[in-house]
Amino acid sequence: MQEYKKLNAVITGVGMFVPEKVMDNAYFESIIDTSDEWITTRTGIKERRKLENGATSDMAAKAILDLLKSKNMSAEEIDVIIIPTATPDMLFPATACIVQRKVGAVNAWGFDLLAACSGFLFALQVGRSLIESGSYKKVIVCGSDKMTSITDYTDRNTCILFGDASAAVLLEPTEDLSIGIQDSILKVDGNGEEHLHMKGGGSLNPPTHETVDKKMHYIYQDGKAVYKAAVPGMANVSYEIMQKNNLTSDDVAYLVPHQANLRIIDATAKRMGVGKEKVMININKYGNTTTATIPLCLTEYSRNGKLKKGDKIILAAFGAGYTWGSMYIVWGMD
Ligand code: UT7
């Protein structure tokens, strides 16, 4: 009988793309009734980016090419491309197919995954399984969202929150079980639909003049309701994964949270007992980029030398669905 070696999936490469155009809080002061003070104290956001030309796939292709360049790796080596996104280029084909063509990954298959702001975590879990099964050796998970394409710039409740970006990780197998993805806790609760959704354009409400007039092709969010669910959701699941893996706050090198609101992030860190210096933050620069927030953090902190091999990190997210979860990873890159 063939013996199967236990494999871990480890992140061995990172890459990112953010568009050049910056929308700062002063810009929002000029288009809606808001203030830099309100946005900063309620959300922690100072700036976000806007992709002026192109689509989600263009940002994803650039993030993946950035990753490949940093690894000196050819696109032909990629086995699978998973694109978590809430803003696919089209309803079909999958954005992953368009990205496959744009990067020249001629040997890859792939698909999109929709779990809104938890999309990166959910996709990482799927990528992890493909690696651990021994079936694939090089899996790219690339969170990419052009949130400005579904944002209503007359709705002050939502428009200040979101931005565009893409970031990717490469998963590979390792027999060193002390590194890589160790554990995950992932959840959905469909009761969240009423508080955070985009109702138009799908099979329930195909596009008509009426759906456009009713602004059904934009994000709808009842911020207060989502906030009330997000704080315990993200905090509890982050604490739970520490307990499950016997981790103390001293063991944890970083919390890598989805960046929707600095107050939600602070509450999560507090529940875990970790100080602010151990929390990865980019919300001030990019706002909420949905599936890109976590891999953007990983790329920036890895590249600036703050994230080191052996660091124990907890990823956490909460988003539309509701979807939420946490992951425990031991960083494997030098
Ligand atoms: O990533 C996916 C998951 N999403 C989240 O996790 C987001 C969760 N929600 C939140 O982060 C927060 O609820 C928001 C940042 C969206 C809003 O913060 P809040 O502290 O919950 O504000 P609020 O909705 O309770 O609104 C407070 C006040 C309201 O005025 P009244 O009714 O008290 O007079 C709003 O009209 O602030 C007003 N307001 C604004 N004022 C200035 C709402 N948006 C703005 C704005 N500028 N942009």
List, for residues 80-131, the tens digit of each pLDDT value: 999 999 999 999 999 999 999 999 999 999 999 999 999 999 999 999 999 9
Q: How many residues in the chain? A: 334
Ligand 1, atom nearest to 261 Cα: 11
Looking at residues 293-316, what average pLDDT do you find?
Answer: 98
What residues have CB less than 8 Å from 325, skipping those under 6 apart?
118, 121, 122, 184, 185, 186, 187, 237, 316, 317
Look at 82 and 4; give whichever has higher pLDDT.
82
> Which residue, among 168, 162, 127, 118, has the nearest Cα to 144 in the 3D structure?
168
Q: Answer whether residue 1 shows pLDDT above 70.
A: no
Q: Answer whether residue 2 shows pLDDT above 80.
A: no
Query: pLDDT at position 164, please?
Result: 98
Rounded Cα gap, residues 149 and 55, in angstroms? 9
Kindly provide the b/e burial profile for residues 252-264, where b requires at least 16 CB atoms within 10 angstroms of the residue's own CB. Answer: bbbbbbbbbbbeb
- Give the DSSP letter of residue 273: T
Looking at residues 159-184, what average pLDDT do you find?
Answer: 98
Looking at residues 200-211, what average pLDDT do you find?
Answer: 97
Please give the distance, rounded to the nearest whole angstrom, from the Cα atom of residue 157 to the centre of ligand 1: 6
Rounded Cα gap, residues 65 and 58, in angstroms? 11
Query: pLDDT at position 4, please?
Result: 73
Rounded Cα gap, residues 58 and 208, in angstroms? 28
Tokens 């086995």 correspond to what residue?
79
Looking at residues 168-189, what average pLDDT do you find?
Answer: 98
3-state DSSP assignment of residue 174: strand
Burial class (CB in 10 A: 0-12, 13-18, 19+), 233: buried
φ/ψ of 315, rounded to 5, equals: -95, 145
Rounded Cα gap, residues 324 and 132, in angstroms? 23
Domains within the chain, CATH numbers bracketed: 8-174 (3.40.47.10), 180-330 (3.40.47.10)
Burial class (CB in 10 A: 0-12, 13-18, 19+), 275: exposed
Probe target for ligand 1 pocket from 30, 198, 220, 224, with the most ligand atoms within 8 Å of CB: 224
Looking at residues 9-32, what average pLDDT do you find?
Answer: 98
Kindly provide the b/e burial profile for residues 115-139, where b requires at least 16 CB atoms within 10 angstroms of the residue's own CB. Answer: bbbbbbbbbbbebbebbbeeebebb
Looking at residues 60-83, what average pLDDT do you find?
Answer: 98
Query: pLDDT at position 3, please?
Result: 67
- Which residue is closest in CA terms to ligand 1's atom 8? 227
Query: pLDDT at position 334, please?
Result: 86
Which positions are catalytic?
Answer: 117, 258, 288
Q: Are 292 and 84 in contact (CB under 8 A)?
A: no
Please give the distance, rounded to the nearest whole angstrom, from the Cα atom of residue 224 to the centre of ligand 1: 7
Please give the distance, rounded to the nearest whole angstrom, from the Cα atom of residue 235 to the centre of ligand 1: 20
Kindly provide the b/e burial profile for residues 142-164, where b requires at least 16 CB atoms within 10 angstroms of the residue's own CB. Answer: bbbbbbbbbbeeeeeebbbbbbb
Q: What is the mean pLDDT of the chain?
A: 97
Question: Which residues contact ligand 1 via a Cβ below 6 A?
Answer: 34, 38, 42-43, 117, 156-157, 160, 223-224, 226-227, 230, 260-261, 264, 288, 318-319
Per-residue pLDDT of 250-275, as tens digits, reads: 999 999 999 999 999 999 999 999 99
E strand residue ranges, the chain: 8-17, 21-24, 47-50, 80-84, 109-113, 139-146, 164-174, 180-188, 196-197, 220-221, 252-257, 312-319, 323-330
Please give the distance, rounded to the nearest whole angstrom, from the Cα atom of residue 160 to the centre of ligand 1: 10
